[in-house]
Structure 1
Amino acid sequence: MEVCSSSSPPIRAGTAMAPAGQKKGVLERLDAGEVVIGDGGFVFALEKRGYVKAGPWTPEAAAEHPEAVRQLHREFLRAGANVMQTFTFYASDDKLDNRGNTQRFTGQQINEAACDLAREVASEGDALVAGGVSQTPSYLSCKSEQDVKAIFKKQLDVFVQKNVDFLIAEYFEHVEEAEWAVQVLKTTGKPVAATLCIGPEGDLNRVSPGDCAVRLVKAGAQIVGINCHFDPETCVKTVKLMKEGVEKAGLKAHYMSQPLAYHTPDCNRQGFIDLPEFPFSLEPRILTRWDMQKYAREAYNAGIRYIGGCCGFEPYHIRALSEELAAERGFLPAGSEKHGNWGSGLDMHTKPWVRARARRDYWEKLKPASGRPLCPSMSTPDGWGITKGHADLMQQKEATSQEQLKVLFNKADKNQ
């Protein structure tokens, strides 16, 4: 099947493959001006499928239900992703110990299983494996730099053993902790990417995006950007500020964006975690595939060449990114074999009024309805305004007691 738009020549759908042993590295691709498409969100997708527990968000599914993780990797590959990021989000021992890891998998077991799954699927296409570390409860509980770095080092040992292609330090609310992560990851000699989960106002200590990016580049990151917490529009805006800061400092870097798949114009500095709908009622905010095509184009025009997604991103969202940038990449993903560009497949629908929707301008101009009478267009974020060092963020292994919950419930009621 051939899929094309009115403004570009036909591009055949199919998974791009590189000759055995000749895959280009991530920096080689970015240095050449190629578009790297990341994968989507794993914890949210697997929670909806029944393999991850909301709240802890820990990735024991890599060891407990490898078939579920493997299948999601494969769907992202088919959608056009050429990075398989290991499902190691929050796979540090301190997080696993104090957040309900009831199956008692060790961090090493989870990280090893995640690397094997990502490598298995990456080998089915022209995809690279990225080993990822994220923020730690130890940092929020004011542990020392040495203690926090030791946690990253423990995960890193597995990534080195499994010979991942590059490394990502992602989902950091404080640039200081991200710097520590980058410094540890750089010891391997592998390429390092670093992304913060911040918006245009900066990190939770009010360090600006530009200054954050400069600090990450100086720490050794070759790719910097934003992931999670905010929608694509906000993330692209924030990466632009990072790019301005890096260029003003006379430094060089590549840029990446892996936002939420949710509209979040009403978020405050903390991002979607403060929205009342988090995490179980966010579906009305989901971006359409057409919103995703707009995001892909805006990110590309902003000079971002590593473009992917985080929480809420399903394979069809990644396919939309791939389709929007098919001309730049030179191919469409295998998943486009069953998807007509800009709704063109509807020209085979039995109903004439649906066939009339088989055109780009219809979907670009559409304003989707929520279907919910009296549904508000915006929310008021909780905005408790606490971060590292606050007593409420000190981690404990025991489940939150009923007395502790009562205090939280009362505080939440007063904030409404």
Structure 2
Amino acid sequence: MVKKGLLERLNAGEVVIGDGGFVFELEKRGYVKAGPWTPEACVEFPEAVKGLHREFLRSGSDVMQTFTFYASDDKLNNRGNQAGVKFTCRQVNDAACRLAREVANEGDALVAGGISQTPTYLSGLGKQKTQAEFKRQVDVFVENKVDFLIAEYYEHIEEMEWAIESLIESGLPVCASMCIGPEGDLHGVSAGECAVRMARAGADVVGVNCHFDPFVSLDAMALMKKALDAAGIKVYLMVQPLGIWTPDAKKQGFIDLPEFPFGLEPRIMTRWDMHRYARQAYDMGIRYIGGCCKIQSYHIRAVAEELQKERGKMPASHDKHDMWGGGLMLHTKPWVRARANREYWENLNPSSGRPYSAALSKPDEWGVTQGHQDLRQHAESTTNDEIKSTTCKYKK
């Protein structure tokens, strides 16, 4: 049976559920190096990557997104001497496509090829060189016959526009999501204007991913939707947030929190938080609903369970998970059996269990990654290895 494509599903009013986080999850499991966060695990540990794809498929994901975050040649090659990366963009992207397709074929899922921001842009090397990095990835995706493309994790709308231009040349449907919150991009462009510019650049689906929790991300989506409506632009919406709470994060999101990246676990969303997120996203008119870093398979299962009526089905892993804790009726303790109901879990305000912790953190007082002129000036006074760094921060 031929699978319906992304736009065919969205045109029919279906809800498309994305997958979750690979970078942080595979780092925890010992397959990704924290810091560079690059996906050579696709070549080195294919079974680990494939297993995570399969977890999301069982939990209700309609999309197997290739594990190709930060897989451009400029990112992989720039740190080869530092962290031992020995694979090229083509090798990583090709392996990622094959793994995603293998699992997608086990169900009704689609394969999405994903690209993200580049060191080339942040180093101010210009449009032509930045798009050359995108093209090398897109060529591999087209050869592997992915179903659609996603440009995600962009902090600057200018680079996002360049990415969209590169993706639409493939002739495939294009999704675009920026890692921004309600304050907009790191060059001061509002969230609403970013949405309008993504749509006008040619993206079929626009939204946000990463950097902020589901509810901050939905605040950003509300601004995007308002601006798109005001401009008279009809485009599909997507949201794929973090799986942690970030009410105290500033413009640059969770990477400025002092807990980043190894102390974020106390902030993890519960499955019940994800039910609320899924309902609010759907009620806003968002039809591509998924997750990014720290979103695990049980979070995606919660999204699929919340939207069961709209989707007309339950995820496979629901067989081991009764709605709203119903399985607890089989517990031996009466006070645990009493928790087998929706009212209990919807009204629970969970404690962290960390008696000496503050409720919120004070983000680090660093400037944002500017790109262009700031990085060009910085590059003049640094070594070649430092120039190629993907994050160049300036103390206020």
TM-score normalized by the length of structure 2? 0.94
What is the SS of the residue equivalent to 1:55?
A: coil
Task: Check if 1:217 corresponds to 2:199.
Answer: yes
Partner letter of residue 140 of structure 2? V
Match of 2:182 in 1: 200
Once the two structures are superposed, the pairs formed by residues 299-378 of structure 1 within 5 Å of their partners are 299-378=281-360
- Count residues in correspondence: 386
Once the two structures are superposed, the pairs formed by residues 178-197 of structure 1 within 5 Å of their partners are 178-197=160-179
What is the SS of the residue equivalent to 1:91?
A: coil
What is the SS of the residue equivalent to 1:131?
A: strand
8 Å Cα contact 2:76-2:85 kept in structure 1: no
Counterpart of 2:54 (choices 65, 68, 74) is 74
Q: Deviations over 1:168-200 (max 9, x none)?
A: 000000000000000000001110000000011
Match of 1:254 in 2: 236
Q: Deviations over 1:190-211 (max 9, x none)?
A: 1000000001110001111111
TM-score normalized by the length of structure 1? 0.90
Task: Check if 1:279 corresponds to 2:247.
Answer: no
What is the SS of the residue equivalent to 1:188?
A: coil
Match of 2:371 in 1: 388
What is the SS of the residue equivalent to 1:28?
A: helix
Task: Check if 1:45 corresponds to 2:25.
Answer: yes
Task: Check if 1:174 corresponds to 2:156.
Answer: yes
Counterpart of 2:141 (choices 129, 151, 159) is 159
Write the distance in 2 (CA, Å) between the matches of 1:320 and 1:383. Answer: 36
Write the distance in 1 (CA, Å) between the matches of 2:104 and 2:65. Answer: 9
Q: Deviations over 1:380-414 (max 9, x none)?
A: 111311321434975966489xxxxxxx9xx98xx
Once the two structures are superposed, the pairs formed by residues 228-267 of structure 1 within 5 Å of their partners are 228-267=210-249
Q: Deviations over 1:72-116 (max 9, x none)?
A: 000000000010000000000000112345140111000000000
Write the distance in 1 (CA, Å) between the matches of 2:110 and 2:123. Answer: 34
8 Å Cα contact 1:92-1:155 kept in structure 2: yes
Task: Check if 1:104 corresponds to 2:76.
Answer: no
Q: Deviations over 1:238-287 (max 9, x none)?
A: 11111111121111100000000000000110000000000000000000
Task: Check if 1:143 corresponds to 2:121.
Answer: no
8 Å Cα contact 2:77-2:85 kept in structure 1: no
Write the distance in 1 (CA, Å) between the matches of 2:63 and 2:383. Answer: 35
Partner letter of residue 339 of structure 1? H
Match of 2:390 in 1: none
Once the two structures are superposed, the pairs formed by residues 52-63 of structure 1 within 5 Å of their partners are 52-63=32-43
Deviation at 1:294, TM superposition (A): 0.4
Match of 1:12 in 2: none
- CA shift in 2, pair 1:283/1:396, >3 Å: farther
Write the distance in 2 (CA, Å) between the matches of 1:280 and 1:214. Answer: 35
Write the distance in 1 (CA, Å) between the matches of 2:317 and 2:142. Answer: 32
Write the distance in 1 (CA, Å) between the matches of 2:83 and 2:62. Answer: 31
Deviation at 1:56, TM superposition (A): 0.2
8 Å Cα contact 1:59-1:87 kept in structure 2: yes
Structure 1 runs (4+) deviating above 6 angstroms are: none
Write the distance in 2 (CA, Å) between the matches of 1:228 and 1:288. Answer: 17
8 Å Cα contact 1:80-1:333 kept in structure 2: yes
Write the distance in 2 (CA, Å) between the matches of 1:81 and 1:158. Answer: 23
Deviation at 1:130, TM superposition (A): 0.3
What is the SS of the residue equivalent to 1:132?
A: strand
8 Å Cα contact 1:255-1:303 kept in structure 2: yes
8 Å Cα contact 2:257-2:361 kept in structure 1: yes
Task: Check if 1:379 corresponds to 2:361.
Answer: yes
Write the distance in 1 (CA, Å) between the matches of 2:83 and 2:5. Answer: 34
- CA shift in 2, pair 1:152/1:375, >3 Å: same
Write the distance in 1 (CA, Å) between the matches of 2:38 and 2:281. Answer: 30
Match of 1:125 in 2: 107
Match of 2:74 in 1: 94
8 Å Cα contact 1:309-1:318 kept in structure 2: yes
Write the distance in 2 (CA, Å) between the matches of 1:333 and 1:71. Answer: 17
Write the distance in 2 (CA, Å) between the matches of 1:273 and 1:177. Answer: 20
* Stretch of structure 1 that moved more, 327-336 or 240-249: 240-249
